[in-house]
Amino acid sequence: MLNKHFSLLANPYTGNNLSKENDSLVDVVTGESFAIKNNIPSLLREEKVTGLNRLYQKRYDWIAYIYDFIMLTLSPLFGGNKVFKNIAEIIKIKSGDRVLETSVGTGIEIKNLVDHNKIGDFYGMDISYGMLKKCRQNSKNWKIDIKLVQANAEDIPFKDECFDVVFHIGGINFFNNKEKAILEMIRVAKPGARIYIGDETVKQIEKQPGFISRFYQKPDKETYAPPLKMIPRNMINVKNQFLWKGKVYMISFQKPA
């Protein structure tokens, strides 16, 4: 990512450009330095990762070891291949599109898109370095180029208007500030870009076995409602679809051209 694409990155807290110095990216104005580990720049100020963001960052760091196994074995509980197929049908990617997934996890949504012939120039960001390390390994095995960065979805470290498609699946229910994360997705989207946000509904949380539900927050309707009210009024073609008998929502909209 660094050599070819690093010009798209910016310090998420100042908006300033970054320059590469040895194993770091350095804010060209303030001198703030961000480490690059295993070719994954970590554009996070750890002290800014608080509350639920911190809680789930830590949880996913250890879940990373078993996440793919869980998804494979328990996927029927999550709607199985049908939900994956539905998601791939909804997300529109044109050849040559630059595509960002916020909360990319281990990369399985991108793999799913590629399996359904949705080929883009893929970027993934996540708050959990553990998940990203696994994603890096997966992407090598799958031979899919995914350019990775560790960051908070509420402070996306890309410059304005970089992406043709920005999507997010499965993390937003956990965020401290969903609205900020949505506004960030819109900021990094090009005019006319397509944006998608999906997660589980309260119906899914109520139905899942006890050992899984301990992982989630209590099933209140507000937390798991599709965040439609947070989509700014000037966005166009706003649509929500419920997948898998109402257990997953998938919002799509477009940034005006």
Ligand X SMILES: C[S@@+](CC[C@H](N)C(=O)[O-])C[C@H]1O[C@@H](n2cnc3c(N)ncnc32)[C@H](O)[C@@H]1O
**Residue nearer to ligand X on the CB measure, 21 or 48:** 48
CB of 135 to ligand X, least distance (A): 9
**Residue nearer to ligand X on the CB measure, 27 or 126:** 126
Over the window 115 to 144, marking each residue x when it contacts ligand X by CB under 6 A and - when it does not, the resulting string is -----------xxx--x-------------
Answer yes or no: are the C-beta atoms of 62 and 130 closer than 8 Å.
yes
**Residue nearer to ligand X on the CB measure, 11 or 152:** 152
Closest Cα partner for 112 from 142, 85, 137, 93? 85
**Residue nearer to ligand X on the CB measure, 97 or 106:** 106
Rounded CA gap, 42 and 45, in Å? 9
| Pairing verdict, β 40-41 and 33-37 | antiparallel
Q: Determine the size of the site formed for ligand X (CB under 6 A).
A: 20
Q: What angle in degrees, to the nearest 10, is found between the helix axes of 51-63 and 67-74?
A: 80
CB of 138 to ligand X, least distance (A): 11
User: Which structure tokens are listed for 192?
Assistant: 């006319």
CB of 221 to ligand X, least distance (A): 20
For residue 253, give Cα distances in angstroms to 89, 157, 202.
Answer: 15, 22, 22
Residue 9, Cα to own-chain centre: how many angstroms?
A: 16
* Binding of residue 103 to ligand X (CB under 6 A): yes
CB of 256 to ligand X, least distance (A): 26
Residues near ligand X (CB under 6 A) = 53, 56, 60, 103-105, 108-109, 126-128, 131, 152-154, 169-171, 174-175
